Structure 1
Amino acid sequence: MSDDFQTDSRQLLARLRTAMAEDAAGQARLDKITHLIADSMRTEVCSVYLFRDAETLELCATEGLRAEAVHQTRMRLGEGLVGRVGRTGRIINTPDAPTEPGFRFMPETGEEIYSSFAGVPIQRLGEKLGVLVVQSKTARRFSEDEITALEVVAMVLAEMTELGVFVGEGAALTKLHTKPVVFRGLTGQEGAAEGRVWLHEPRVVITNPIADDPVREGERLSTAMDQLRDVVDQLVTGIAGDDKEQLEVLETYRMFANSKGWKRRMEEDVARGLSAEAAVEKEQSTARARMETITDPYLRGRMHDLDDLSNRLLRILSGQGKETGADMPADPILVARNIGPAELLDYGRSLRGIVLEEGSVGSHAAIVARSLAIPLVIHAERITTEALNGDHILLDGDNGIAHLRAEDQVVNAFRDKLAMQNKAQERYASIRDTDAVSACGERVHLVMNAGLMADLPSLASSGAEGVGLFRTELQFLVRNQMPKRSELSALYSKVLDSAGGKKVVFRTLDIGSDKVLSYMKPTDEPNPALGWRAIRVGLDKPGVMRMQLQALVRAANGRPLTVMFPFVAQYDEYRAARAEMDKALERERILGHPLPETLEVGAMLETPSLAFAPRRFFEEVQFLSIGGNDLKQFFFAADRENERVRRRYDTLNVSFLSFVQNIVDRCAETGTPLSFCGEDAGRPVEAMCLAAMGLRTLSMRPASIGPVKSLLLRTDLGALRGVIEQAREDGLQSVREPVMEFLRSQG
């Protein structure tokens, strides 16, 4: 790279900074910028195309093309050379544009006299904002230095867009971070909350993308890189010597932090006139664009490492985010691209709500959010790009919506909703200690789901009669290595202590599918939900199962113990798992440890096959719990992680209720205790129908017990069953409408 080129590049950026600082409307700034770029690069044409919406690029300013085409010429994503750059995020540099595949002639622009074309994407951290184009009459390919200069200018344009420099009459973009925005995602956990944004990984806002002093910027970059390497070295040093997999990951991390190529590219960008922060972000944007084209999961993971290092370096340079020691607001709603269970547990119950750009309804984060009873919205695309720390936010977990910087009328309506919910909570509190007996005198036991020690106080506050499901996998998921038997035994003992004599049903390790342990070798399965998971893992790795069963027996220490095996699909699996339980008991007896006063061993019925198991299975198993979430997705062949299909099937479908009725009848014949566990148990209308089918134990999240009990106390289950049977006779697909009509008629 020549010194003359560096000087020309810095001069162009200096002229752009002056244009940016001028008190002018957005359109005037854009017009000035295209003139400056064309003049500096000695080309006849410079044009800026910006995204009007996700699929449409619009000519927003030009030097050299016809002025009347501005804001009139538009093209779809992928259409023409400009549309190709916008869609792919890749540079096009050609001496003969009309012969390029996909070329589109736009007669209103007058561009037919220009042969050479270079188009560079205007993008910021994977977000495509537009396309910067230069053209000339002479048929030539633009030099590498010229293309590099265009990339640097495109980076500055992206930052200027972020800062709202182009806001004004005729501009296609509006300033970010100031206007109300609604994000429509998916429900991860129901509930509503109002608060202030707290970004898990704060995005650095670069206020000056152009350097005043390139030498000083180079020194700042070098100092920050040294600090980054120190941070990574400390992370590596802090890993236990026997944790080889974690050490391997961090060594890869350290390799990136010491990459000479990465540092050299950023130093070159600084030498061209970018600030240190802008240089880091330019390389980060390039890496993100590459990441979108990589299908190999290992390589994508390594690109994610580089992305994370870039964020750390930006925070060191700017002093923004975690490194500032800023205080979390009193009413924080966490906003993140994604988050692991351990990180989420670090925040604990201090959070009012959570919004994620990624995630799934069965992800680790969703499991922890449910355990903590925190409203969660997932798949809120681009919220981390738009939100800033401290922004006012309304979270509607029931409908999967987040309102950022909402207008007053939306805020008032939302607060009315919160007030109604608070009033309902007061009503639920008043019946907390009342037995759940229906209007027709049927006793229904309402128990709660848990997975953390933090859940146990809800036993008293919610009025739950016990814990119908304690998920033991969370203690495995939040660690970087397999927990020890003594650690698990101590935890399970505390759980039983906190339950105060109420029954706790411990479900053995349920991993696989969407719950993957970082320290276990991953399995490449085309359909993990139907693959190597839960009881299948336990039976194939009996050492882990035995260790957990021994921990449970020791935790009981002579008290009653209830254990349940997950995802049992056939009788033989239950028999094999029960045999492991017997071996654990015998081992503990030989060691002289006290055995449980009583022991109940059951299974989760989550696959249709188990409903048709031999009668002997129902006679032998001591209790069954219908795992409604998995059973429903297998019954309807509808992946509950797939939003395109999961909402098409209703729990109150006549076929599904008939299937549940068949399970109830089989258990009644053999006297097998039966419960229903899952999201539907905590939805009042669905819960009433399950109770009408004969289920007398429902296990749900603690916050659902009040609403379910409130409706149960006022419902005649016998009459409701008659409504369901009539709907079946009438040939209805779902009983929801007649059931709702019946409940309304009951007041």
Structure 2
Amino acid sequence: MPNRSESESESRKLLKRLRDTLAEESEGQERLDHITTIIASSMQTEVCSIYLFRDPETLELCATEGLNPAAVHQTRMRLGEGLVGRVARLGQNINAADAPSTRGFRYMPETGEEIYSSFLGVPIQRLGDKLGVLVVQSKEARGYTDDEVYGLEVVAMVLAEMTELGAFVDDSAALSARHQHPVMVRGTVGQEGTAEGHVWLHEPRVVVTNPVAEDTQAEIARLNDAIRQLQVSVDDMLGSAGIADKDQRDVLETYRMFAHSRGWIRRMCENIERGLSAEAAVEKEQSSARTRLQSASDAYIRERMHDLDDLSRRLLRILTGQGSETGAEMPADPILVARDIGPGDLLDYGRTLKGIVLEGGSVGSHAAIIARALAIPLVIHADHITTEALNGDHIMLDGEQGIVHLRPEENIAAAFRDKMAMQAQAQERYASLRDKPATTLCGTTVSLTMNAGLMADLPSLAGSGAEGVGLFRTELQFLANRSMPRRGDLAKLYSRVMDAAQGKPVVFRTLDIGSDKVLPYMKRPDEPNPALGWRAIRVGLDKKGVMRMQLQALIRATAGRTLDVMFPFIAQLDEFRAARDILDREIERERRLGHTLPTQIRVGAMLETPSMVFAPDAFFEEADFISIGGNDLKQFFFAADRENERVRRRYDTLNISFLNALQMIVDRCHAFGTPLSFCGEDAGRPLEALCLAAIGLRALSMRPASIGPVKNLLRRVDIGEAREVIETARHSRQQSVREPINLWLTEMLTRT
């Protein structure tokens, strides 16, 4: 076996041969064929094959040296099928001396591979984006050495870069048209609404155009210069943060420790010595670190992967000059496109954004919460949008259906604009109802309030016609900061919120964190199911210091006014009593300190778990008011994760069984005279709102933009008739009332 320096020299030779091949004027297939020949020759193996994804679930043999040439573009396999499929699915290498006896092996007779024993497969991927698999095989039954594995990993990384750059596209016209042709991406609705504008990439992906080092020493010098710049910027950030809290400072100290890590720097330098450019060396180490940290059992260690990702991206931007340093100007009508984004960054953009499109995210993520608060249309799970989009591209997003049109054709754009114009006309009609009550034809009045979480939301109170704030999410101030907010700052904010409400009621929900809302300065617990874990009131009762501080801020902010405070995610009576006891103690403490107290305090609870539908009567007697948290109650009622697209759309809010559960809550609150409201996405959907009112709910809280459509429908119907339709459906063995209520509504509106 060659020694290390000889092996490294061979790696550099191979990379240079690859670079020369990629620089040649040739078609994509010819390039692929030449690459497999070079790799097989350099590694002294009989076979080298390249498999690329044709769709997210299918791999295709695209080039080979050693297997049957007739199998190229004919042999395909599903993700996870055979050893090649397993490499792709797991994103990990498989090194087998005796491939046929290895678990998962699948014999493909058309390739003629039966005579080859050894198998080494490595994923062709770029920072988690799966592009294909690179394979070498030999007749000799042997395991490949660490140096050989490393060499093939480096080659696979280069292939990934070149695949993304379109180096293997046969049609030169198609290649030149990349980032020019129309693209439609179907994602998931994060926040409803439509928007047209131009792309603004948040931290655009750095493109490594030359992955091969021309001069090793020069590349190492470039890397060291960039690292010094990075370290200075990180040291300055920590020094100016002014954080006293030990836990929060530890997080930033860990971040700085990574930036100064000798091991991290050494591994990148070793990558350069093996033939990579400085940029490619950073990406190689970033990918390796992701693999190591993702497999860690400790959730805190896995979270540090985000620190390393951020440092690597910063380092790449310094090396390439790409990103914010390019001087690109944000368009006047920006639609933000990103892999993901934190709440702080999103708040920095604020209402300048027309829309947001994310590759990641979730319906309950920080970004979705902020987008709803700012009433910005949001589409999440838009696969590969950051690869397809360029700054300045024309883009249209339909937050009603979760569809994004990138560089749309004119007929698509015209149809989209017609839809936006119709929505604008409808909003004008709703504006005329702003100061009118949501009173039905039968004389029933439903109170419509708005959800909020930022000072920027409060102007919508007057504009939307909301009768108050039915839910003020206090966690946004905690999520958007790098450190714990101070009591005095929170008190000032809550006071400004009440000032802006101008006497209208504001219901403050105490800190609702956990699940997918994780504070950046709090260690995230390792939980198999966070939605059912340590969250909301459970955190508050365990971390009483944080809860007490927030309650003190609320008491001081509402001095001389009414304080409406609501505890989230109550699952049993004792939790409500314990939380109320903490509040009572803080009120007494504020009294002793001589602070002015609220004139009235109303203490409520969010009913979000099925357990509280059947709670003891004492719960309904002791709570001053109850708000149904529709989003969580629905997912727990149907055992369907609302983040899971495969299951969440199977279950209907207007399902008879769910309406029966809501009816039970309505009846129990009515029996004890306890005010009840419904808060959640369904409250803002006119048909659902109509049914909620029909079963007895008289207060609904929703996003401001939904108040007009809901009020418009309620004022045109008799909910007594709607209730009869629901009752008939209940006794006719139907699963949902949606179809009969829709039919009734259509006939009724046609008559009028």
TM-score higher than 0.5:
yes
Q: Secondary structure, in 3 states, of the residue corresponding to 1:374?
A: coil
Aligned residues, how many?
Answer: 747
Q: Which amino acid aligns with 1:363?
A: S
| 1:36 corresponds to | 38
Q: 2:638 aligns with which of 636, 639, 645?
A: 636
1:117–1:403 distance in 2 versus 1, CA, 3 Å = same
Q: Is the 8 A contact 1:164 1:175 kept in 2?
A: no
| 2:256 corresponds to | 254
Alignment of 1:284-683 (within 5 A): 284-520=286-522, 522-613=524-615, 617-683=619-685
1:515–1:170 distance in 2 versus 1, CA, 3 Å = closer
Does residue 707 (structure 1) correspond to residue 709 (structure 2)? The answer is: yes
1:81–1:364 distance in 2 versus 1, CA, 3 Å = closer
| 2:189 corresponds to | 187
Q: Is the 8 A contact 1:239 1:246 kept in 2?
A: no
- Matches of 1:252 and 1:361 in 2, distance apart? 30
- Structure 1, unaligned runs of 5 or more: none
Residue by residue, what CA displacement relative to the aligned partner does 1:172-227 show, whole Å, maximum 9, x if unpaired? 99996455444333322222222333333321012222333333222212211221
TM-score (norm 2): 0.90
| 1:167 corresponds to | 169
Residue by residue, what CA displacement relative to the aligned partner does 1:541-562 show, whole Å, maximum 9, x if unpaired? 5444443333223222312332
**More displaced 10-residue stretch of structure 1: 453-462 or 156-165:** 156-165
What is the Cα-based RMSD across aligned positions, in Å?
3.2
Q: Secondary structure, in 3 states, of the residue corresponding to 2:445?
A: coil
Residue by residue, what CA displacement relative to the aligned partner does 1:211-268 show, whole Å, maximum 9, x if unpaired? 3333322221221122122222223323435232233223333333233333333333
Q: Which amino acid aligns with 1:329?
A: P
**More displaced 10-residue stretch of structure 1: 530-539 or 95-104:** 95-104
- Matches of 1:403 and 1:221 in 2, distance apart? 39
Q: Which amino acid aligns with 1:468?
A: G
1:16–1:575 distance in 2 versus 1, CA, 3 Å = closer
- Matches of 2:617 and 2:99 in 1, distance apart? 75
Q: Which amino acid aligns with 1:490?
A: K
Q: Secondary structure, in 3 states, of the residue corresponding to 1:194?
A: strand
| 2:269 corresponds to | 267
- Matches of 1:328 and 1:170 in 2, distance apart? 31
1:716–1:82 distance in 2 versus 1, CA, 3 Å = closer
- Compute the displacement of 1:375 (Å): 1.8
**More displaced 10-residue stretch of structure 1: 568-577 or 357-366:** 568-577
- Matches of 2:255 and 2:386 in 1, distance apart? 23
Q: Is the 8 A contact 2:230 2:315 kept in 1?
A: yes
- Compute the displacement of 1:506 (Å): 1.8
Residue by residue, what CA displacement relative to the aligned partner does 1:381-414 show, whole Å, maximum 9, x if unpaired? 4433444433333322222333334444433332
- Matches of 2:116 and 2:42 in 1, distance apart? 18
Q: 2:689 aligns with which of 687, 690, 694?
A: 687
**More displaced 10-residue stretch of structure 1: 62-71 or 713-722:** 62-71
- Matches of 1:295 and 1:187 in 2, distance apart? 32
1:722–1:135 distance in 2 versus 1, CA, 3 Å = closer
| 1:122 corresponds to | 124
Q: Secondary structure, in 3 states, of the residue corresponding to 1:48?
A: strand
Q: Is the 8 A contact 1:601 1:622 kept in 2?
A: yes
| 1:232 corresponds to | 234
Q: Which amino acid aligns with 2:288?
A: T
- Structure 2, unaligned runs of 5 or more: none
| 1:132 corresponds to | 134
| 1:73 corresponds to | 75
- Compute the displacement of 1:613 (Å): 4.7
Alignment of 1:17-96 (within 5 A): 17-41=19-43, 43-92=45-94
**More displaced 10-residue stretch of structure 1: 258-267 or 203-212:** 258-267
**More displaced 10-residue stretch of structure 1: 584-593 or 448-457:** 584-593
**More displaced 10-residue stretch of structure 1: 418-427 or 454-463:** 418-427
Q: Secondary structure, in 3 states, of the residue corresponding to 2:658?
A: helix
Q: Is the 8 A contact 1:436 1:443 kept in 2?
A: yes
- Compute the displacement of 1:2 (Å): 6.2
Q: Is the 8 A contact 1:163 1:176 kept in 2?
A: no
- Compute the displacement of 1:521 (Å): 5.2
- Compute the displacement of 1:728 (Å): 1.8
Q: Secondary structure, in 3 states, of the residue corresponding to 1:603?
A: strand
1:465–1:106 distance in 2 versus 1, CA, 3 Å = closer
Percent identity between the two aligned chains: 70
Q: Is the 8 A contact 2:294 2:305 kept in 1?
A: no
**More displaced 10-residue stretch of structure 1: 167-176 or 245-254:** 167-176
Q: Secondary structure, in 3 states, of the residue corresponding to 1:746?
A: helix
Q: Is the 8 A contact 2:299 2:526 kept in 1?
A: no
- Matches of 1:421 and 1:126 in 2, distance apart? 39
Q: Is the 8 A contact 2:300 2:525 kept in 1?
A: no
Residue by residue, what CA displacement relative to the aligned partner does 1:700-722 show, whole Å, maximum 9, x if unpaired? 11010011111112112121112
- Matches of 2:97 and 2:617 in 1, distance apart? 79
1:554–1:67 distance in 2 versus 1, CA, 3 Å = closer
Q: Is the 8 A contact 2:251 2:521 kept in 1?
A: no
| 2:207 corresponds to | 205
Q: Is the 8 A contact 2:219 2:278 kept in 1?
A: yes
1:663–1:207 distance in 2 versus 1, CA, 3 Å = same
Q: Which amino acid aligns with 1:587?
A: R
- Matches of 1:619 and 1:96 in 2, distance apart? 71
1:173–1:615 distance in 2 versus 1, CA, 3 Å = same
**More displaced 10-residue stretch of structure 1: 139-148 or 170-179:** 170-179
Q: Which amino acid aligns with 1:548?
A: Q
- Matches of 1:264 and 1:318 in 2, distance apart? 20
Q: Secondary structure, in 3 states, of the residue corresponding to 1:721?
A: helix
**More displaced 10-residue stretch of structure 1: 7-16 or 355-364:** 7-16
Does residue 724 (structure 1) correspond to residue 726 (structure 2)? The answer is: yes
- Compute the displacement of 1:373 (Å): 1.1
Q: Which amino acid aligns with 1:200?
A: H
